[in-house]
Amino acid sequence: MNFKAFATLTTHPTDPKRLPKDIREALSKESAAKRRIYPKDFPKDVREELFARYWVGLEPLRKTGKLGAILLQYPDWFVISKANKEEILHARELLPDDRLAV
């Protein structure tokens, strides 16, 4: 089975109300009050926690050999650049050993 990564993992905006309560509470009041927030609005450790939760959530499929690829579908404005290449490489570090599709 293939899965698409959660919006926050691919630089898309996210409604803070869709985030787990503890993650919302870790945001600045300014970010939490916005209608949409971007990954750059998250503290680094919070964003990495979101990746970790996603990774753990896929563990049952991984263990049974049913996990195909994880699609990292970046937005149209995610153009070729050094910073965006680093973003993809960072995702690779946070989703170790999984097959990624960009």
Number of domains observed in the structure of the chain: 1
Note down the domain range covering 21: 3-101
Contacts (Cβ under 8 Å, ≥6 apart) of 7: 13, 14
- Report the C-alpha gap between 64 and 22 in whole angstroms: 30
- Report the C-alpha gap between 85 and 74 in whole angstroms: 12
pTM of the model: 0.83
**pLDDT tens-place values along the chain, 102 residues long:** 999 998 889 999 999 999 999 999 988 899 889 999 998 888 889 989 999 999 999 999 999 999 999 999 999 999 999 999 999 999 999 998 899 999
